[in-house]
Amino acid sequence: MNPFSLRRALPKVVAASLLVSMPALADWVGELRVKSAPVPGQKAPSETKGKMYGRTGMLRMDLSPAEVPGGMSIIFDWQKRTGTTLFHQRKAATVRSLDELPVKIPGECSGTGQDFDACFTAQGYKKTGSAKVNGHPTDIYEGVPPGAEGSIQRQKVWRPTDLPEVAYVRSYTYDMAGKLQSEIDVLNIQTGAQPASVFTVPADYDELDAAAGAGNALQSFKPEDFKGKTPQQIQEMIRQRMSQQQGKPPSAAPAPAPKK
């Protein structure tokens, strides 16, 4: 909330029509709850809580995984095509151009032309029902993202019909054995203007080398890993990968040795 050249692009005419027809979308904030199946050696599923913020062309996820003291945030700017990771205890930030990454993030589900129903349909998802989930009426979509065949059995998403700016309020991913692999819930969503500071790097944060640390987490993905993913799902994938890498922020460049 998962993200991309990775998905088949909508025809240019359709994409242009979406851009023209989409209304301005409101800012929003919601509580985030992420549960993941236990990895080998882990007895119980892991659960992480945080917040998710949305704005047209922007997404931010705040999380406090145990592996990252002080917590972390990930900000996607779909207009500038950048991904920024903030390490709050260290007051450090890494910024990467999404276009320079080994994967290319498509724009069907992001930016000023967001239409998540069209996005899911274009990816081959089928509408299988409706239900009230997390306080919202939803349409249920199920399918396998293009390119994910053989790695997951299916995904199930609950798309809120009363919130055009939110991709889903619940998402389940099932492994090839049909077991629930991960579940994401977005709770207590409130629409309304969010401070610009939510989507910017604090002035007192040092910008570190993105080629290390968070950059490695992004580069460790293969293009097919992101096919059919929404921006929110990509953010969660990156968070999980960074946690697996112990969540250590990259080191600042050493100061030059003093001249003799």
Confidence band for 8, pLDDT divided at 50, 70 and 90: very low
Residue pair 28/126 in contact (Cβ under 8 Å)? The answer is no
Confidence band for 152, pLDDT divided at 50, 70 and 90: confident
Per DSSP, the residues of 166-231 read: -S-SEEEEE-TTS-EEEEEEEEEEEES---GGGGS--TTPEE--TTSTHHHHHHTS-GGGGTT--H
pLDDT of residue 118: 80
pLDDT of residue 207: 87
**Least confident span in 50-54, 99-103, 153-157:** 99-103
pLDDT of 62-71, one tens digit each? 988 777 788 8
C-alpha–C-alpha distance, residues 49 and 249, integer Å: 20
Q: Is the pLDDT of residue 174 over 70?
A: yes
**Least confident span in 33-42, 122-131, 161-170:** 33-42
- Mean pLDDT, residues 118-124 taken together: 78
- Mean pLDDT, residues 91-104 taken together: 72
Place of tokens 């977005």: 186
Measured in whole angstroms, the distance separating CA 232 from the mean position of its chain's CA atoms is: 3
Mean of per-residue pLDDT scores for the chain: 73
The structural domains of the chain, ordered by start, are 12-244 (2.50.20.10)
C-alpha–C-alpha distance, residues 201 and 58, integer Å: 13
Q: Is the pLDDT of residue 232 over 80?
A: no
pLDDT of residue 9: 24
Q: What pairing do the DSSP bridges indicate for beta strands 92-97 and 126-133?
A: unpaired
Q: Is the pLDDT of residue 256 over 50?
A: no
